[in-house]
Structure 1
Amino acid sequence: MRICPTMFFILLGTAAVPHLAHAQGNVEVRVDRLEGQMRAVQRKVFPGANGKLIEPDISGQEAVGDTRGTPSGSAVTDLTARVDALESQLSSLTGQIEQNQFKLRQMDEGFTAYKRSTDARLKALEDGRSTGGTSFGGGDEPAPIASSRPSTARPTTRPTPSGTVPSRATPPPVSSTRDPARAQQVAAIEKPSTGDDGEDAYNYGYRLWEAKLYPEAEAQFRSIPKDFPNHRRVSRAQNMLGRALLDSGKPNLAVLAFYDNYRTLPKGDRAHESLYYLAQALTQLKKPASEICKVYDELTDVYPDKLSDAMKTGVARGRAAQKCGK
C-alpha cells in the first residue's frame, strides 16, 4: 500500500510533538526545582527589611510568552539557558556562603584566642599581687622596642599642713633605723598633725617622697588604704605608692600599684594619673607597644577632661615614641 507524501509528513509531525513536549516538560521541572532552591538561598544570603527578599544582580531570562504546545526548538533553548543561568547563580551563592562561614570561624577563633590571652594576663596580675610577683603580661616578651620616656609632671598641688604634734602616721620601716645617717634624714621629716589622721598620714608620706626617701614613703602610702579605707586620700595614696616604686627603680611593682588604683577606684581623683604613669612603667619594662598604646587610649577616652597640659604633652610624646597612631 502506498502512502502519499502529504500523509507521511502529517504522521511525522504528529509523532514529533509528544517528544518535544516531553523534553520541554523535563526542562520545566528542572527550572522549577532550581528556582525553588534559588529562592531558599536568597532568603538565607540576601534577607531584606521586613522579611522581603533582595533581588540578585543576575537573574534568569524571563520567558516572553507561553510557548507550550508550539513544536519548535526555541522554547527548549530558552529554558536551557535559564537553567544554565540558575545553576551559575546557585554555584556563586554557594561559594559566597562558604566564604562567609570561613570568615566567621576565623573571627570566632580570633576572639577566643584574645579572651584566653586576656584572662591569662589578669590571672597573672592577680597572682603577682598576692605573691609579690612582677609580671604584668603573660608569655615570652618580644624584642624591646626603643622608646623615650615621657616627661613626668609633679602634682600641681602641694600639701600645706600645719602643726608639729606627732600623729598616727606609720613609723618608717626598721631598715631605715639601722643606718644612723638615714635615720637622721627620716627624723628630719616633720610629721604633720591637723586632727585628720588620714590626711596627716598622706602628707607625711608625700614629704618622705619629696625627700627621696622612697622605701619609707612606700611603707607610709601602703598603710593608708589599710588604716583609712574610706578616706578621700586613698586614691592619691595608691597613686603615690606607684610613683615611689617607679622612682626607686621598681617599675614592675609600680605597674601593679597603678593598675590597682585605676581598677578599684576608677572615679578617684588620681585614677587618671595612675593610667598616665602606668604607661611610663610599661615603657620602662619594655612591654609591647600595643599594650602601652592601649593604656594611652584608655586614658584619653575615659579622662579627656582631667589631663593637664603637661600630661597631654607627655601622652603625645609617648604615643609618638610607641607609634600608636591617631
Structure 2
Amino acid sequence: MNIGRIARTWSLGSVAVALLATSVPALAQDNGEEMRIRRLEQEVKALQRKVFPGADGRYFEPEISATPNTGTTTAPTNSTTAVTDILARLDALEAQLQRQTAQNEENANTLRVLGERIAVLEGGAVKPAVATNTAPATETIVSPSNNAVNTNVDKMTGNAPPAKPATGPSAERLAAVQAIAKPQTDDAGDDEYSYGFRLWNAGFFPEAAQQLTMFVEKYPKHSRISYGRNLLGRAYLDDGKAREAAPWFLKNYQSDKQGARAGDSLLYLAEAMIQLKDTKRACIALAEFSETYPALATGRLASDYAARRDKVKCG
C-alpha cells in the first residue's frame, strides 16, 4: 500500500472524528435552549391566566393551582354586584315614595272634608230653590278699594228660607206655557236658552228659571252661557226671589268678567242687595260696577246704574 495514500486516509478519518465530536455538544446545547424557551412560554401563559381571569373565552384558568400539591384549580365565586344592590335600593325607595304619596292624598282629602264641614257650620251655602235642586258654588265679591275678598255669598244673602209646599199650576197656566213654541234649529244649546227667554219674556218666571237652570248646567261652555246665567238671576229677581237671584248674578260676574252680560249681572246684584236691605254690599257692587265697566256705567246701562245709585246712600 502506498504510504502517502495511507497517510491521507488517516488524516481524513481524524478530521471526521473531530467534527463528529464537536457536533454533539452543539446539538445538546440547542435542545437545552429550546426547553428553557418552552418553559418560559408556559410560565408566561400561566401568569396571563392568573392576572386576566374571565369568562370571555380569551383566557383560561391557570394550569398551575393556587394551592400547592393539590393538582386542582380554584374557580372564582359569584357575588352580588354593586349595580344589583343599587337597583334593590331604588325599588325600596320607589315603594316608600308611593306610600308617602298615598298618605299625602288621604290627608289632603281629610282636610278638604273638614273645611267643608266648618263652612257649613259657620253659615251654610246658598242654593237657588229650583226644581232640579241645583245651585252654583259658593261665590265671593271683591271690594273695588283693595281688590280683596270682602265676603262670601252665604254671608251676603243669608240662608235660603225653607221651601213652601208647591202647588200645581192651573190648567190655564199649563196651556199658556205649552203655547210658547220652543225653537228647533241646528244649535240645541241656543234653542234651550231661547226657550227660557221666551218663557221669561212672557212672565212665566218659575218656568223660565227651571228652563234656564237646565241650560246653564247642560251647556256650561256655550256662547250664550253669560246670557243664560244673567237671565236666570233675573227670572228669580222678577219673581220676587232676590235671595235666590243673588248667587247667580255673582257667579256670572266672577266666572267671566269679560262675558257679554257680566256687567249687567253685577248691576243686578246691587239691585238684589237693595231688595234684601243690605246697603253695604249694594254699595260695594255699585262701586265695583263703575270701576270695572265705566263704558256701561255711562252708556247702555247708565240709566239703570243711576236708578240704583238713587236707591242707596253710599259713603
TM-score, length basis structure 2: 0.48
TM-score, length basis structure 1: 0.47
Structure with larger Rg: 2
